[in-house]
Amino acid sequence: MLMHGFSPAFTTELVVGAASVLAAGGYAYAGMWPTSQLFGRCVIAAKNPNQIALTYDDGPNDPDTHRLLEVLAKHKVRATFFMIGRFVRQRPEIARAVATAGHLIGNHTMTHPLLLVRPPSVVRQQLRDCNASLEDTLGQPVRWFRPPHGGRRPYVLRAARELGLTPILWNAMGYDWKPTTPEAVEQNILRGFRGNRQRGYATNALLHDGGQASIGQDRSHTVTATDKLISYWKNDFAQRGEICEFVTPEAWI
């Protein structure tokens, strides 16, 4: 049936245009939405609402990665750090301090590009170079990968698998990569946590100990929020007579 008042040609153009918009929206969802699995399987979280993984992107960063390590050590919590290769080259001693403290370390590319729009050759080089930076610094293989901004296509995930890397995304976000307050970061993460808990899932919290532009980015709000979040969760679970289990994503493989 033709739309009233429109010619057949215009109607066809309208339908094709609408289909293109829907296709673009679906592509963006598949390639950017953190919980999408349409382009390939990525680790997000297990069906265990008592588990929480704290993950930090864009380091190593002076001085807030060190400050974050102090908070995590105080609470005896193990976390995951996805590091940018060029910053590892600049501050290898911070990367080694993270590893020495027992935290999991993953590949976050060499320079933090949006891989969704980069050709396969660039994707492979970004992952290989970051792996080399980490492995030269830490003396151990890298097994984990988080794409910058969550951007991925099938060939991004394929390149990761070829290097033995497991992609890790997230289901709660602190929105802490920009100037903000610890209270705002805390509430953002707790909003995701409560939604995950209602659905019966663990929480994989995305936070930032650094910034993609340069070393020296202020992440003091993240450090303070981390301290407050861990204390909140320990008290909240204890009041319900439950145990809050802090894990790294490798527990969900």
What three-state secondary structure class fits 146?
A: coil
Q: Which residues 6+ apart lie within 8 Å of 168 measured at CB?
A: 42, 43, 44, 55, 80, 82, 106, 144, 145, 146, 204, 249
Written as six digits, the tokens of 139 are 């003396």
- pLDDT per residue rounded down to tens, the chain (253 residues): 444 454 555 445 444 343 343 334 554 556 666 778 787 889 999 999 999 999 999 999 999 999 999 999 999 999 999 999 999 999 999 999 999 999 999 999 999 999 999 999 999 999 999 999 999 999 999 999 999 999 999 999 999 999 999 999 999 999 999 999 999 999 999 999 999 999 999 999 999 999 999 999 999 999 999 999 999 999 999 999 999 999 999 999 8
Query: Do the Cβ atoms of 70 and 222 come closer than 8 Å?
Result: no
Domains of the chain: 51-252 (3.20.20.370)
What three-state secondary structure class fits 215?
A: coil
Instruction: State if pTM tops 0.75.
Output: yes
